[in-house]
Chain A
């Protein structure tokens, strides 16, 4: 079964760091484009970052320089390292498989919640 499972969310103080993980099963992370999308409480979806199968990475302006997307091929897992966290980063973070790298996100995890608060 094709599946994504996010972990690593929690309560963190402003300025802190957190690393989210997204374990994949049923397909190979390194052979696909993989994205992170977040949703603030009561708000819409916001694309955060993508890593191409070739390794290129892209970020939304709101997180560029603070967040880093990466993957561990041996663990078939995607990561999102989040530094210098702000209150506005509070959201449910979803990982998703993008089949063609052009906004065809066909497999989504259930999400992990990040709360940035003092």
Chain B
């Protein structure tokens, strides 16, 4: 059982928007700004998409955005494209004992 809770699946049609939630506790998501989202295509390494809740690394399209409210973080993908179909993992810094915790992952399907 993962420390952070994500829905196992999400879907949307090309051009639509989809939001993936990530629920933790006050010891991780709710307690720090250090929430990240990673994209993983089958057989590939994860790729950083969002860090510090809402910041995008260079090269990540602005169609990807992040937010947080209380113990729940969210990733929104706007203007869905076929190449967005992948697994998405949220993660959070959780202090010096647990360091980093991940969600179980959400499989995003572009219909």
Contacts and interface: CB of A to CB of B under 8 A. Distances in A.
Interface of A: 35, 37, 44-47, 50, 58, 60-61, 94, 96, 102-106, 108-111
**Chain A contact surface mostly:** strand
Given A94-B46, A102-B93, A105-B48, A47 B99 contact: yes
A35 B35 CA distance: 16
A110 B102 contact: no
Interface in B25-68: 32, 34-36, 38, 40, 44-48, 51-52, 57
A104 B51 contact: yes
Contacts of A45: 38, 40, 46, 89, 91, 102, 105
Contacts, number: 61
Given A45-B38, A103-B92, A108-B46, 6 more contacts: A58-B99, A61-B98, A102-B32, A103-B35, A103-B91, A103-B93
Contacts of B35: 103
Query: Closest 6 CB pairs between A and B?
Result: A47-B100, A108-B45, A102-B34, A44-B105, A45-B102, A103-B93
A109 B2 contact: no
Nearest to A110: B45
Contacts of A96: 46
Nearest to A104: B51
